[in-house]
Amino acid sequence: MNLHWTAMALLVVSVGATGAQETGGTGKAVKTADEEFKNVQVLKRVPADQWFDTMAFIAGSLGVTCDHCHSSSFEVDEGNPNKLKARQMMRMVDQINASNFDGKIVVTCNTCHRGALQPQAAPVPDAEHWKKAAEKASPLPAPADLIARYRHAIGAGKNVLSQSVVIEMETYGGTGPARQTSIELLLDGDTRVREIDREGAAVKTLIKNGHQVWANEAGAWRDMSEGEASTIFEAADLLHPDQLGEVTPSGAVFEDRVFGQRAFVVPVNSKDSRKWLFFDPATGLLLRQRLFFSNFYADATLDIEYADYRKLGGLLLPNTFYVVNAAGSGLTIRRTTSRKINIKLKASEFAKAGV
């Protein structure tokens, strides 16, 4: 599976000296944020290709989204006190690292904020911490065994040639009530997708047919770029029966918790991302995968959580997905209300004339 989840742009703020950086071993200069973007006053030396993931990391550390610091254009200050305060705080972080850690990035926004605007000055009782501390260490399964058990549990290997799916969505962006939308999807293999997005009276149709991608908004068709299409069709990625794709274990198994229960975690690499896979010890099912995005401070993350597994055509598939983006979209809950597999589809349904 090719998951094109990207951390979206957030605050435009940034630490230190300018100067082009070089990519590992290629000698090719990478622009800095100061060279690529306007009005960068603090984090000038951040590589431009890490900028948006760095912004996502900062916003996630504070538990906010773009709107907290940006009312309109990212480059404009607009007298927003939150944006000015963010710059002040990042200068403080930079000074702490320079004075105490030889300039190495040890302290970040998350060191104190931990997902809250106001850092907590006193420890908070954490029941899960003590439950985990009380658990006796036991031998952990091998990474390959957990991956194989998951695929056996869901019935991976059974052919799913086509799908018809309806998804209801709630998006919580931290700025009011949840945004209610829905998606209707037709999938023909991995190369053809028809998607209809509905939000109130607004309707948008999206089609992917091989390398061709189109969008119909307000009755007019337009071509989409490959980058735009990769994020638009992320809902289709979640419907692949095997959510792992081609992965290679990259570390030892360890334990964590998901939904308040134990989970075995397998660090893996895939062709397009680095992630952790969280498996249910009892059933072998995938509970969560955490994707990592490198940035200037530390790794930004995005979680996809799986719940409400149900039988369908000999497969065991999740029907509810929690997409938790520490920045950008916040939390999106996708609930599958209708799903059929291996149905007959016409080629015309994946052509502009067929909609």
Q: Look at 55 and 203; give whichever has higher pLDDT.
A: 203
The DSSP call for residue 256 is E
Q: pLDDT value at position 18? A: 34
Opening angle at CA 220, ends 215 and 221, nearest 5: 40
Closest by alpha carbon to 260, among 132, 125, 137? Answer: 132
Q: Where are the beta strands (DSSP E) in the chain?
A: 21-22, 29-30, 162-172, 179-188, 192-199, 202-209, 212-217, 220-223, 247-249, 254-258, 261-270, 274-279, 286-293, 300-312, 315-325, 331-341
Q: Backbone phi, then psi, for 37, in 5-degree steps?
A: -120, 165
pLDDT of residue 58: 85
Structural contact between residues 55 and 327, judged by C-beta atoms closer than 8 angstroms:
yes
* Average pLDDT value for residue range 330-340: 95
Whole-number Cα distances in Å, 9 to 76, 179, 339? 14, 19, 33
pLDDT value at position 353? 66
Place of tokens 């705080």: 89
HSE-up (13 A, CA, CB side) for residue 16:
18
* Domain at 21-113, CATH from 1.10.468.10, 1.10.10.10, 3.40.50.1950, 3.40.50.300: 1.10.468.10
Residues whose CB is less than 8 angstroms from the CB of residue 26 and which lie 6 or more positions away in sequence, other chains included: none
pLDDT band at 27 (very low <50, low <70, confident <90, very high): low
pLDDT of 10 over the 60 cut: no
Classify residue 57 by its DSSP letter.
H
Annotate 114-151 with b (16+ C-beta within 10 A) or e (fewer).
Answer: eeeeeeeeeeeeeeeeeeeeeeeeeebbebeebbebbb
38's tokens: 């306007």
Percent of the chain with pLDDT over 90: 45
Closest CA to 10 of 169, 174, 171, 232: 174
Least confident segment among 85-99, 117-131, 194-208: 117-131
Model's pTM, two decimal places? Answer: 0.76
* Residue 24, pLDDT score: 46
Q: Does 143-354 carry CATH code 2.60.40.10?
A: no
CB contact burial 205-219 (16+ within 10 A = b; e otherwise): bbbbbeeebbbbeee
Q: Report the amino acid identity of residue 222.
A: R
Q: What is the pLDDT of residue 72?
A: 67
329: confidence class by pLDDT, cuts 50, 70, 90 = low
Contact 225, 119 (CB under 8 A): no
Cβ(33)–Cβ(14) below 8 Å? yes
For 28: left if phi > 0, alpha if psi spans -120 to 50, otherwise beta; the answer is beta
Amino acid at position 103, single letter: G
Residues of the chain with CATH 2.50.20.10: 143-354
Q: Cα separation of 293 and 332, whole Å?
A: 19
Q: From 289, 347, 337, 285, select the one nearest 316 (Cα to Cα).
A: 285
Residues 236-292 pLDDT 10s: 889 999 999 999 999 999 999 998 899 999 999 998 789 999 999 999 999 999 999
Please list the residue range(s) of the chain that carry CATH number 1.10.468.10: 21-113
Q: Which residues lie below 8 Å from residue 212, measured CB to CB, with a gap of 6+?
A: 223
List the end-to-end C-alpha distance of the chain, in Å, as a whole number. Answer: 27
DSSP β-bridge partners for residue 26: none
Length of the chain: 355
Q: Which CA distances in Å does 347 have to 166, 197, 224, 234?
A: 20, 20, 20, 22
CA–CA separation, 239 vs 164, rounded Å? 10
Residue 220 sits at φ, ψ, to 5 deg, of -120, 135
Q: Residues 198, 211: contact at Cβ < 8 Å?
A: no
